[in-house]
Structure 1
Amino acid sequence: MGGGEISFLREGNREKEGGDLMMEYLDKYSAHQTLIQPLKMFGFPKVKDKLAALLWLSKDIDLKDIEYVFPLIFIKNTTLALTAAQIAAGIMSRIGAKDWRRIYDQVKYTRIDEKSLVSLLEFETDISIHMLGIASLNSNGYVREKALKLISGVKSPSAVPYTLLRLNDWVVSVRNLAEHILKNIFIPDNIDLFINHFELINKLQDSVRVDLNRIKTLVEDFLKDDSFKDIVKRKLKHPQVKTRLFCYQLLKDRIVNDETIIISALQDKSFEVRMWLVGAIKTLEPQAQESIIEKLLQDKSAKVKTAVLRKHEDFVCQNFRGILEMLLIDESASVRDDARFILKKHSIVTDIPQFYRHQILKNSLPGAIAGLGETGGQRDFDIVCGFKTNEEPKIRLASLIAMWQLSKVDTVGFVLDALNSDLPKIKKTAKRLCKRTRMPDILSAMKENLKSEDLNTRILALQIIYGYGGWQALQAILYAISREQEPVLSEARNLLNKWLPKSTSLYSKPDRATEKEIINFYETICLKGLISENVLKELQFVLVTRR
């Protein structure tokens, strides 16, 4: 082999094969170059070189490699053709559900000769169907149509996704052919593949080119057939929640006569399934709904409880007033809010704050304290403040939030202290409150914290001050950069990159003291080269034009 021909190869392990050194590729581009070059009797590449490239590529192969692998399938050398076909088929058989949606763009430019497609039937069925499937995704409409015709003569469940994709083809004849094939593959052996590709089925309803809702209904009716009920029910244990949801939807009309579906949904580990059940039970008689709604109202998921309150409001009011009142002190703010709305609307509880005061006296639960903070007044501050040092972390957290809602001015000191709390949730909540609220006391405290020896404290202070925007944010950023301490330095640089585009909305000038500090920090940063030249130029432009 000439030196120029193997410039993209390097020596690998010194294992010999036919007397030649085995070669290892530096990158995919190098392997691709070997695959697309014509075979040579003398020189590079020979069959063994292409085989070596294929095997190397197969270690980390993806859809983008298909356009380099696929043409080798038509080469006369059977070993090379079979290896390429097996590798390509392997890629297609491992495609994830989400990848099917964008597969066309990744393989559409694969070079395929329409007249050669029939030769793909010479491989084993599983390989043939994937090779024809790749051809059905080609940018050439004639190739897609010919591939589909050949697919129609092969009995394999693997034809399902390729057929579903072509139902939305640009070419009418291809669409019609795909629909014809679809009806012929409505057989029991293909049930699993249809369910596994539920996303492609659901995608039919989003078609803009042509209305495919009729075909979507056709597929779903096939899957809803009585003879497949047990197969679909077994899929309710599928590890993927979206697959389970699809199967639950297929079984929706059966819950009237099959309680096991409801029990399965209630026991499902995903709240999304129980959310589905909230809507599905509307088809049941009120008497049948009662026990299910009672369980759903006590679900561990706040989203499920709010869904029940919104979709079954009247039923809940009539049958579950006691539970509804208890939801007023739920730990979820959204649940409390929905419960309050319903109780006030139906005049079940007219004085909500008094209800919370009474509940706190009876049993100081976190939801009651938080609820009083959401609905009470200034006079309730002392009530909720009394729990700020409670031993129970949830109560202390509820107290802090309630105090903040009732009086930010009186609570700001407690919030600043909470930034140093040993309890992660309280500390996180304090950070959130400081970031969301612009108060002079918080800004002043953060400016002091910016000088702290604790790096995490300084980063948090910098982030909070940045939220205030304007010149004071720039002042803090430049100060942090000038101190040259990581990881504060990196965070300050990132914030500066975010601040500069926003500087166009600055219409006021900084006060003299702030301006002086900004200039001093800027000069220090320039002198030490602490930020890139491009950022320095942008910053200089802002300082010259905006001051």
Structure 2
Amino acid sequence: MNQTLLVVQMEQSEIKSVSIAIKYCYKKIIFDQENRLTYTKYLEQILEEQTPKEFLNTFKQLRAFSYGQSDWNWFDINESIVLSLSSNNSASFWSWLACHPNGYVREFALKKLGAESCSNTLPFLLITLNDHVENVRELAKQEISNSFIQENKETILFSFPLIKRLKSLEQKENLVIYDQLNNYLLDDFDLLQKAQESQDIYISRYGFELSFRIKEQYRTEVLKNGLKKTDRIILSWTFKEIQKEEHWEEQYLTQLLNHPQMIIRKLACEWCYNNRDKEERMISTLLDQTTSIKYLALDYVEKQFPEIDCREYYLQHLKENPINAIHGLAILQDKRDQERMLPLINSHKKKIRVSVFNWIGCLSFEEQLPVYIDCLSDPSRDVRNKAVDQLMNHYSLPIKEQLIPLFKEKKEARFQLSIIKILGEESRKDYFFDLVSLYVYAADQLVKDKIEQQLVGWMLSWNRRFFFRFCLKDKVELAYLVNKNYEEYSSGVLDVMWKVLRAK
């Protein structure tokens, strides 16, 4: 939240957004006549503290008309009121009035802005180019060229996304302004460079979009800057532009295959896969950290270099690049690696333990089962979830018979919570009795709360109400549990149990 909004909020707790803060400032300036200079300064600061996207949202909120109650007399501002205002008001005062729902107010504000050489007005003129009132649009069109030439660089940079937006607006005459402003920008490479470096992604993207159209002398520098970015869209554009370069494979391909950003490496690998035979530079991508790239590289090497044993390649790189080499072995799922892979389930590195899970599918489920059970208490949520998913997919009575005693013996919250989730695969009645009986063995309050939550959910579920009936034997067993563990059950668990006992 920007500092100006915080200051205004200190005065009025009802102010929850920038647009409401602006309306409040106008109420103070126009209707209450209090601290005019202070609130006018706030109006100026609000624009400086917003991003282009936030500015557009604020504009839409200010323009929105309602027949309901007006916020801070915003709809009470009309033609007669603005005519009575002092002509000494600052540009920031008139700028935000260009976003008012009343067309006469917008028109008057634009005339005031046009009568003086004002800075920071370009964003307001750009959004007004799509106004539904023709007179207002014409005023903005007349002023925009002069404003652009006189405007400071920071405001022009701020306006980059608003200029790009002109191309998609309803008023097609804006295309003339769009082309005119783009021609100004294309002649100012220093400004385009600042746009490329902007922290605002929309400014940066449009800076690159324009930069790819500039003269040849700057092209290499633009491509270099593009490869430094992290935004996927800019990187994709840069890759396409690089492909337009003569002999780009010799100059760029090695760099692209080893680029720090995944999107560039993947695009380069896909290009090699579809366009190059026997490309030796693809062999090194067998050790890429991204799974999809590794799969692509494996398929490519197996087809183009049948003499290379990919398993041996990974084994050769185990010492220098263990994580990616083990991941590659996991993809191959070769049973010959059993003695090497299974002990790695105890590795302190999560990625290696996940790789073991990917590899273990080549074993029989009987061999996999002990590993899955051990991993139910793994410190990594990803590993635990993989173990839980596998046990749920293969759930059976023998698995339950192993899990229940372990729940009681192993007083570890993560382990017990995983078992509670797995038991949800059994019949609803069995699940109810298991939750009730296991409650007293919970490792901590977190596990108890989870069991209680599951019991309450079980009681409210539609299949419980319509299909379950408890026979006398069930109720006797339940009553026995109540009597035996009454002191240990919470009130919520007891409430569910009493409802079952009273049910007909």
* The one of 348, 355, 372 aligned to 2:304: 348
Letter aligned with residue 337 of structure 1: Y
Map of 1:97 onto structure 2: 52
Alignment-derived partner of residue 142 in structure 1: 104
Alignment partner of 1:358 out of 289, 294, 312: 312
CA distance in 2, matches of 1:349, 1:419: 41
Name the structure 2 match of 1:151: 113
Which residue of the partner structure matches residue 429 of structure 1?
Answer: 382
Aligned to 1:454: 412
Matched-pair identity in %:
16
Is it true that 1:279 corresponds to 2:240 in the alignment? yes
Cα distance in structure 1, aligned partners of 2:16 and 2:231? 34
The question of 1:487 aligning with 2:446 is answered: yes
**Distance in 2 (alpha carbons) for counterparts of 1:493 and 1:171:** 62
CA distance in 1, matches of 2:364, 2:172: 55
Q: 1:406 to 1:118 in 2, by over 3 A?
A: farther
CA separation in 1, counterparts of 2:477 and 2:56? 51
Q: Distance in 2 between matches of 1:328 and 1:203?
A: 43
2-structure distance, mates of 1:473, 1:178: 70
The CA distance in 2 between the partners of 1:502 and 1:212, in whole Å, is: 60
> For 1:122, what is the secondary structure of its paired residue?
coil
Q: 1:471 & 1:73 partners in 2: Cα distance?
A: 69
Counterparts in 2 of 1:16-415, with a 5 A limit? 56-57=11-12, 62-63=17-18, 64-75=20-31, 77=33, 79-107=34-62, 108=64, 110-111=74-75, 112-118=77-83, 122-123=87-88, 125=90, 128-129=91-92, 131-187=93-149, 189-204=151-166, 207=169, 214=175, 217-218=178-179, 221-222=182-183, 224-226=185-187, 228-254=188-214, 256-258=216-218, 259-268=220-229, 273-285=234-246, 287-310=247-270, 313-315=273-275, 317-318=276-277, 321-343=279-301, 347-349=303-305, 355-364=309-318, 365-376=322-333, 379-380=335-336, 382=338, 385=341, 388=344, 393=349, 396-397=352-353, 399-407=355-363, 409=365, 410-415=367-372
Distance 1:499 1:222 in 2: 67
Evaluate the alpha carbon distance shift between residue 105 and residue 395 of structure 1 in structure 2; reply closer, same or farther with a 3 A threshold: closer
Partner amino acid for 1:230? D
Distance, in Å, in 2 between the alignment partners of 1:478 and 1:76 is 66
Counterpart of 2:269, as a letter, is L
Instruction: Decide whether the 8 Å contact of 1:475 with 1:514 is kept in 2.
Output: no
Q: Are residues 137 and 471 of structure 1, via their aligned partners in 2, closer, same or farther at CA, if it must alter by over 3 Å? A: farther
Could you say if the C-alpha distance between residues 274 and 461 of structure 1 is closer, same or farther in structure 2, counting changes exceeding 3 Å? same
TM-aligned CA distance change 1:82 to 1:395, over 3 Å: closer
* Structure 1 residues 501 and 360: alpha-carbon distance in aligned structure 2, compared to 1, 3 A threshold: farther
Distance in 2 of aligned mates of 1:469 and 1:174: 69
Contact 2:157 2:203 in 1 (8 A): yes
**Cα distance, 1:333 vs structure 2:** 0.6
- Matched residue of 2:445: which SS? coil
Whole-Å separation in 2 of the counterparts to 1:516 and 1:164: 75
State which of 368, 375, 382 in structure 2 corresponds to 1:418.
375
CA 1:277 to 1:119, structure 2 compared with 1: closer, same or farther past 3 Å? farther
SS at match of 2:193: helix
> Is 1:328–1:339's contact at 8 Å kept on the other side of the alignment?
yes
Tell me which amino acid in the other structure corresponds to 1:261. V
Aligned-pair CA distance for 1:294 = 1.6
CA–CA distance in 1 between the matches of 2:21 and 2:248?
55
Distance 1:89 1:203 in 2: 24
Amino acid corresponding to residue 348 of structure 1 in structure 2: Q
Ranked by relative contact order (alpha carbons within 8 Å, sequence separation 6 or more), the top structure is 2
CA contact (8 A) 1:148 1:177 kept: yes
Provide the alpha-carbon RMSD of the alignment: 4.8
Distance across 2 between alignment mates of 1:385 and 1:193: 59
TM-score w.r.t. length of structure 1: 0.68
CA deviations over 1:26-68 (Å, ceiling 9, x no partner): xxxxxxxxxxxxxxxxxxxxxxxxxx99973499884223333
Give, as a single letter, the amino acid of the residue that structure 2 aligns with 1:326.
S
Residue 67 of structure 2 corresponds to none
Q: For residue 348 of structure 1, report the CA deviation from its aligned partner.
A: 0.9
State the alpha-carbon separation in 1 of the partners of residues 125 and 474 from structure 2: 67
Change in CA separation of 1:247 and 1:350 when aligned onto 2, cut-off 3 Å: same
Mapped to 2, the partners of 1:518 and 1:91 lie a distance apart of 69
TM-score, structure 2 normalization: 0.73
CA distance in 2, matches of 1:146, 1:304: 51
Query: How many angstroms apart in 1 are the aligned matches of 2:128 and 2:294?
Result: 49
CA shift at 1:297, angstroms? 0.9
5+ residue gaps, structure 2, are: 1-6, 65-69
Q: Give the CA deviation at 1:202.
A: 4.5
Deviations 1:377-399 (A, max 9, x none): 6x456265366268784784365
> Could you list the per-position Cα deviations for residues 267-325 of structure 1 after superposition, in whole angstroms to 9, with x for gaps in the alignment?
4466664444222313222x13532232121022323311322356445x25x822212
User: What is the one-letter code of the residue matched to 1:429?
Assistant: D
CA contact (8 A) 1:356 1:368 kept: no
| 2:243 counterpart SS class | helix
